[in-house]
Amino acid sequence: MIFDVNLSRRMTLQLLAGGAALAARVAPGSAAEQRIDRLIKEARRKGPISQRLDYISGALRGTLYEGYTLIGSPTRAEKFVVRDDAFDCVTFCETVLAAAIAANRAEFDSILRSVRYHDGVVAWRERNHYFFEWGKNNVENKTCRWVVLDGAVEIDKTVDSQKGLSKRRFAMRVIPSAAFLASKSRLAKGDIVGFVSRRPDLDYFHVGFIAFDKSGTLLLRHASLSHHRVLDERMDRFMAANNVRYVTLLRPQEPHAIAGNG
């Protein structure tokens, strides 16, 4: 089962003891960057952004799950981290999204900063710690747009699970699980689905991409803590196992729609 700790990097200030080794992976010329270069180039031949997202995210299946992949806290300087050897659920989405939008490696870095941080400013307090703010900021910079399905309702969340940040109140337009599963025809490969937490102090407990198998079965492609890797799961089974009540949907936009926001 997936628990709220899947977003623990958004809620924890301490790094693991291996932080120094992690920092070394940020250096230019790393194997991670070479793999990203290759995926960006290959994806450019795949057509629209939905196809590019599906190709890149699919190529990363099997990659290890790992939390605490970002470096920074209220008292420690933030560092811009690029990795493709291990992800949590949010860094998986961020990396795939930036690679699908970018035309080359230099654009990837700029887009990833814009996706991960408010206004692209690499600082702990500018990081999109809560996924609702991640979505809001990436809609404002035209990287994504909200998709609202029939049956959507509005809920209020007051969250304070991230130490070091003030309490936030979010008015969220959410889709009941039954309405979401009944709207498969309106979903697209590469849509980003956020699973709303039942915890009163947290907005979401997990995120991932929409995918489909060859028979058209709706899948969740995600970095899974419980499975320790990136994989595809049947969406209906994941939602039932995790007692999902509401979701939200973001649809990534083509690069021409975000020109000037890198």
Whether 179 is in a domain gets the answer: yes
Whole-angstrom distance, CA of residue 67 vs CA of residue 90? 10
Whole-angstrom distance, CA of residue 210 vs CA of residue 217? 11
Q: Is the dihedral of CA 33, 18, 24, 206 positive or negative?
A: positive
3-state secondary structure of 180: helix
Whole-angstrom distance, CA of residue 223 vs CA of residue 124? 23
| Residues of the domain holding 170 | 144-252
Whether 137 is in a domain gets the answer: no
> Looking at residue 29, which CATH number applies to its domain?
1.10.3670.10
Do 173 and 213 belong together in one domain?
Answer: yes
Do 123 and 180 belong together in one domain?
Answer: no
Whether 139 is in a domain gets the answer: no
pTM for the whole structure: 0.86
Do 103 and 192 belong together in one domain?
Answer: no
Do 9 and 125 belong together in one domain?
Answer: yes
Whole-angstrom distance, CA of residue 35 vs CA of residue 82? 11
Left (φ > 0), alpha (ψ -120 to 50) or beta: where does 172 sit? beta
Whole-angstrom distance, CA of residue 107 vs CA of residue 113? 10
Nearest to 84 by CA among 32, 41, 34, 42: 32
Q: What is the pLDDT along the chain (262 residues), one digit of tens a residue?
A: 334 444 443 433 333 333 333 333 443 345 556 889 999 999 999 999 999 999 999 999 999 999 989 999 999 999 999 999 999 999 999 999 999 999 998 899 999 999 999 999 999 999 999 999 999 999 999 999 999 999 999 999 999 999 899 999 999 999 999 999 999 999 999 999 999 999 999 999 999 999 999 999 999 999 999 999 999 999 999 999 999 999 999 999 998 644 444 3
